[in-house]
């Protein structure tokens, strides 16, 4: 079966660092994506991992361990505008994206 | 702005009716995927079109159907609408279905409400 798990919600303080975890079990793997989605808007691409290790992109970093079926998204120097839903998605070998239910992040002052 | 446009942005339909949603893919992209996102959930894959052929389908009944045109734009048709079909429908375009390092760009979505 296909299963992607991530926490339902998290709260963090402005200026802090937050890590959003994602574990997956899928029948095929062709990369893991993180998307940010503000309420009522389309998901926007944040990061992509296909090999093990850390990918850094400004304030956002994403890590992948294929052997453990595990990824995390790290957000540094949190800003109020980072309050959003963060979606972890695995792409299978046919290009289909399988999404988790999303993690609702609230950034407090 | 991703270059992927969907129409309409909002729609209200009555149970039992039929609806057609439209998506224009980003220039140069030949693959379009459709997703259904219920409130508070992640998007669920409906189907994917690559060069006008359906090449993958999720767990949705046959009353969900689609088309891709020669210019790679796409339509999603839903017949016999049910209340549970109320959701945000997202279209994503990409270049190739499973080419590495190809991200999918999402349109802004169509919010469908079935009453």
Structure tokens at B69: 């045109």
Q: In angstroms, rounded to a whole number, what is the distance separating the alpha carbons of residues A23 and A6?
A: 7
Give which of B43, B45, B104 to mutate to test A binding, by max A Cβ within 10 Å. Answer: B43
- B70 contacts chain A (CB < 8 A): no
Query: Tell me, what's the pLDDT at B27?
Result: 83
Task: State how far residue B18 is from chain A, nearest Cα, in angstroms.
Answer: 23
Contact residues on chain A for B108, CB-CB shorter than 8 A: 41-42
Query: Tell me, what's the pLDDT at A93?
Result: 81
Q: Annotate A47-58 with b (16+ C-beta within 10 A) or e (fewer).
A: bbbeeeeeeeee
Return the closest-CA partner of residue B32 out of A99, A106, A95: A95
Query: Tell me, what's the pLDDT at B103?
Result: 75
> Cα dihedral angle (A88, A91, A95, A97), rounded to 10 degrees?
-30
pLDDT tens figures, A58-67: 999 999 999 9
Size of interface A-B (CB pairs under 8 A): 72
Instruction: Look at residue B90 and tell me whether its pLDDT is greater than 80.
Output: yes
Query: Tell me, what's the pLDDT at B100?
Result: 57
Query: Tell me, what's the pLDDT at B102?
Result: 66
Contact residues on chain B for A94, CB-CB shorter than 8 A: 48, 55-56, 97-98
Structure tokens at B71: 């210019």
The residues, any chain, with a CB within 8 Å of residue B100's CB and separated by 6 or more, are: A30, A31, A50
Query: Tell me, what's the pLDDT at B99?
Result: 57
pLDDT tens figures, B31-83: 899 999 999 899 999 999 988 999 889 999 999 999 999 999 999 999 999 99
Q: Provide mean pLDDT across the span A70-95.
A: 94
Report residue A7's pLDDT band, with 50, 70 and 90 as the boundaries: very high
Query: Tell me, what's the pLDDT at B26?
Result: 84
The residues, any chain, with a CB within 8 Å of residue A54's CB and separated by 6 or more, are: A61, A62, A63
Considering only CB atoms, B103 lies closest to which of A45, A98, A101, namely A45
Return the closest-CA partner of residue A9 out of B87, B43, B40: B40
């Amino acid at each position: 079966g296909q299963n992607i798990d991530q926490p339902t919600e998290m709260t963090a303080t402005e200026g802090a660092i937050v890590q959003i975890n994602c574990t997956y079990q899928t029948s095929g793997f062709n990369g893991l994506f993180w998307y940010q989605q503000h309420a009522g808007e389309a998901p926007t691409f944040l990061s992509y991992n296909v090999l093990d290790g850390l990918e850094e992109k400004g304030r956002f970093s994403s890590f992948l361990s294929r052997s453990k079926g595990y990824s995390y998204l790290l957000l540094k120097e949190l800003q109020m505008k980072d309050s959003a839903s963060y979606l972890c998605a695995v792409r299978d070998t046919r290009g289909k994206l399988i999404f988790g239910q999303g993690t609702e992040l609230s950034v407090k002052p | 702005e991703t270059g992927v446009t969907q129409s309409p942005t909002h729609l209200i339909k009555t149970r039992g009716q039929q609806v057609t949603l439209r998506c224009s893919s980003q220039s140069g992209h030949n693959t379009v995927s459709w997703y259904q996102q219920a409130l508070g959930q992640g998007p669920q894959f409906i189907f994917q079109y690559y060069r006008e052929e359906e090449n993958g389908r999720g767990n949705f009944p046959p009353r969900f159907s689609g088309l891709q045109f020669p210019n790679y734009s796409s339509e999603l048709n839903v017949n016999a609408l049910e209340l549970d079909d109320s959701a945000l429908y997202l279209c994503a375009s990409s270049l190739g279905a499973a080419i590495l390092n190809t991200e999918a760009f999402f349109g802004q979505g169509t919010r469908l409400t079935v009453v």
